[in-house]
Amino acid sequence: MKTNSLALVAVMMLLVACTTVYRAVVTLTQVVDSAAVEYARLYNDGLVPTELATRVAAAHLNFRVAAGIARDALVAYKNGTAPSPEQYNVAFTAAQQTARDFVGLVTPLLPPHQSIALQQRLREANEP
């Protein structure tokens, strides 16, 4: 019975860890998507200088690439084809940085309340 209890505790700890990882990924993606929607509205209204538009496009592409690598690393770890979560951790850290870069370019264009809300959600996505 004691062995079963230990196994149950181990499974529950694994489930909590996975939920935390997925929550961080989903939150990070939601923040970038929210920033992208607001940016697109401003861009379509002609309120974004060309030079900034080029930088924002590059930052968004960098995020998409980094997020894709993080997704692949998470799937590999989840499927047992990666020996440890280290590859995912490195990839997710890169995705976090590229998200910060993208959001950092967009938030100065937004009203203060939207900028603050996006930055707060981004911080939440970066919490373990």
pLDDT digits 0-9 by tens, 33-71: 999 999 999 999 999 999 999 999 999 999 999 999 998
Closest Cα partner for 71 from 24, 123, 7, 17? 24
Please check whether residue 102 is in contact with residue 35, taking contact to mean a CB–CB distance below 8 angstroms.
yes
- Considering only CA atoms, which of 26, 9, 30, 58 is closest in space to residue 117? 30
Amino acid 19: pLDDT: 52
Tell me the CA end-to-end span of the chain in Å, nearest whole number.
Answer: 33
What integer pLDDT is reported at residue 1 of this predicted model? 45
Nearest to 29 by CA among 58, 57, 89, 70: 70
Global pTM reads 0.81
Q: What are the residue ranges spanned by the domains of the chain? A: 23-126
Which CATH code for domain 23-126? 1.20.120
**Residues 68-118 pLDDT 10s:** 999 899 889 888 898 788 898 999 999 999 999 999 999 999 999 999 999
